[in-house]
A = this chain, B = another copy of it.
Amino acid sequence: MPTIKTLVLILDLCGTFVFALSGATAAVRRRLDLFGVLVLSFAAANSGGIVRDLLIGAVPPAAIGDWRYLAASLAAGLITFGWAPQIEKLQNPVRMFDAAGLALFAVAGAQKALASGLNPVMAALLGMLTGIGGGMARDVLLADVPMVLRADLYAVAALAGATVVVVGSTLALPSMATTMAGALLCFGLRTIAIRRG
């Protein structure tokens, strides 16, 4: 069973990869060149975690001090740039990758906030903020109103996922199980909202 630190790292890197896919796909749609795509991949993937780490005083943030976040972001950006037509064939690719990133970052953010000693309510809120930060950065950089402000069940999905983690931790349930349950709840809520959309 992985420790909390390993769990946060794995969730963070997976979230980084899928949020980078969402940022890169949005950038390709706007016909940005390769480096614009890579910058947007990195910004979409790492803004949430960087803000979380700054807020809890963990400097340098993981996304800056650990090369794997950069590698995951660039890999997603390069894949998207090279295979954009195939990715576009997926239904709503930006929204689906965004939903996965939201779920992963919401639970990872809540876990890391709890580990830093924040109280449970604030840890859930910080998980939500971690989740919505990357997509906000992506949309603000493209001069759009962020999806969190337009889409149904967005912030509330992230908050629900983070809350499962925090409540599970308060009840001393196994963190692996509550983390997966929280991520699935958040992803499920967003998927339902996108399908109904």
* Residues of chain B contacted by A55 (CB below 8 angstroms): 50, 54, 59-61, 64
Chain B residue at minimal CB-CB distance from A143 = B145
Copies assembled: 3
Taking each of A36, A119, A149, which has the highest tally of chain B beta carbons within 10 Å of its own beta carbon? A149
Question: How many residues of chain A have a CB within 8 Å of chain B?
Answer: 45
The answer to the question of A187 belonging to the interface, with a C-beta cut-off of 8 Å to chain B, is: no
CB under 8 Å from chain B, chain A span 3-45: 27, 30, 32-33, 35-36, 38-40
CB distance from A31 to the nearest CB of B (A): 10
Q: Is the CB of A33 within 8 A of B67?
A: no
Q: Is the CB of A54 within 8 A of B59?
A: yes
Q: Is the CB of B132 within 8 A of A141?
A: no
Question: With A55-B59, A64-B55, A118-B64 given, is the CB distance from A35 to B154 under 8 Å?
Answer: yes
